[in-house]
Amino acid sequence: MPVATATDTSTSTVPMLIAGRWPTARGDRSGSVYNPSTGRIIARVPFASAEEVDEAVSAAAAALPWLATAGGTRLALVVLGCGCVAGAAVAAVLMREAPGRHAPVLEHVGTPLRDARMWLLAGGSALYLVAQIAITSFVVLFLHQHRGLSTHAAAGVLAGINVLGIGSRIGAGRWSDEVRSRLGPLRLLGLALTAAMAVTAVLVDAPLAVLVPALVVAGVVGISWNGLSFTAAAETAGAGRSGAALGFQQTVLAAMGAAGPPAFAAFVAATSWRAAFSVAALGPLLGVAALRRVADPTAAARRRGMSAIPPAAR
């Protein structure tokens, strides 16, 4: 990021909010907030450490079962909605393009609907989403209804999946940076997700001490791939039409996100949890088959002696 030409010696630091507290950041790394018209640094935002991220996610996850018990489902959903609004407000106030960044060249911008690669990337990712939905949307219901866990204990398993999922997403992104490939790690994660879902299907009626770790592994792997999928779509489309490509991909994923849960629930009702998890395991496997037909843009760039990955990410 270019250095601003002027700074204010009285620049304030935006604090972090964790579990209703405003703690002092433990690390010394921070990011700058720029005035987009002048390039002046107007504030600094501390970067949370891995421990601070875990604390924030754990506090939020632990609060939801309590909120549902104290005020019902309506209160829990209202709190979630307020959190989304607060996050959007923070993003609107603080997120800006880096000063001096050149706009992408918009020559030869075509619609993603005419690009077979976009269909394969979006469709393959949607098939990965089948397994993700099976775990993240239904693990609480499965453990409570089928295995007799309390709603609080089952929600704790989901909270653990999401906390560990933070690390898996960051780790997957870092891995792809190290190997300078998005689709390679994405395909391997699809195979790992297939295996994890298959193991979960086999262990549906196993002791909880065996089943719960299998569910956590499947859930963590199941939410690790999203960032790679989005980045692969943007890099494949190129800077000039990355927005259109991401919009198309998100639309396909949203359609699967809307249709997947009721379809999975209906399949469970008609068959069994084991059968449903087994079918969900086929989703990422078919997704890998689709993604194998897409050339990795970073690999093509390496063959030309360049890199599609920005220097800051290497």
Nearest CA to 133 out of 271, 229, 224, 264 is that of: 264
Residues 235-252: what's their mean pLDDT?
Answer: 86
- Among left, alpha and beta (phi > 0; psi -120 to 50; other), residue 131 is alpha
- Is residue 99, in this structure, part of any structural domain at all? no
Residues 262-289: what's their mean pLDDT?
Answer: 96
Check whether residue 89 and residue 167 sit in a common domain.
Answer: no
- Is residue 262, in this structure, part of any structural domain at all? yes
Check whether residue 127 and residue 228 sit in a common domain.
Answer: yes
Q: What is the Cα–Cα distance from 313 to 165, expressed in whole angstroms?
A: 21
What is the percent of the chain where pLDDT is above 90? 48
Q: What is the Cα–Cα distance from 79 to 300, expressed in whole angstroms?
A: 46
Question: Does the pLDDT at position 5 exceed 60?
Answer: no
- Is residue 84, in this structure, part of any structural domain at all? yes
pLDDT tens digits for 106-147?
444 457 778 889 999 999 999 999 999 999 999 999 999 899
E strand spans, the chain:
7-13, 30-34, 41-46
Q: What is the Cα–Cα distance from 296 to 299, expressed in whole angstroms?
A: 5
Interacting residues of 293 by C-beta distance below 8 A, sequence separation 6+:
120
Check whether residue 186 and residue 270 sit in a common domain.
Answer: yes
Provide the whole-model pTM: 0.69
Check whether residue 81 and residue 176 sit in a common domain.
Answer: no
The CATH number assigned to the domain holding 210 equals: 1.20.1250.20
- Is residue 313, in this structure, part of any structural domain at all? no
- Assess contact for 43 and 93: CB atoms under 8 A: no
Check whether residue 223 and residue 293 sit in a common domain.
Answer: yes
Check whether residue 244 and residue 143 sit in a common domain.
Answer: yes
Interacting residues of 23 by C-beta distance below 8 A, sequence separation 6+:
15, 16, 52
Check whether residue 65 and residue 126 sit in a common domain.
Answer: no
**Number of domain units in the chain:** 2
Check whether residue 151 and residue 88 sit in a common domain.
Answer: no
Backbone phi, psi, residue 10, to 5°: -100, 25
Backbone phi, psi, residue 45, to 5°: -120, 120
Check whether residue 139 and residue 254 sit in a common domain.
Answer: yes
- Assess contact for 196 and 216: CB atoms under 8 A: no
- Assess contact for 172 and 182: CB atoms under 8 A: no
Domain that holds residue 222: 112-301
Check whether residue 242 and residue 187 sit in a common domain.
Answer: yes
- Is residue 314, in this structure, part of any structural domain at all? no
pLDDT tens digits for 17-71?
665 567 777 777 777 777 766 767 777 778 877 777 767 766 665 556 666 666 6
Check whether residue 57 and residue 141 sit in a common domain.
Answer: no
Interacting residues of 119 by C-beta distance below 8 A, sequence separation 6+:
112
Look up residue 299 and give its two tokens.
């690999």
Check whether residue 117 and residue 37 sit in a common domain.
Answer: no
Residue 155 vs residues 33, 159, 204, 265: alpha-carbon distances, Å: 36, 6, 18, 18
Q: What is the pLDDT of residue 65?
A: 64
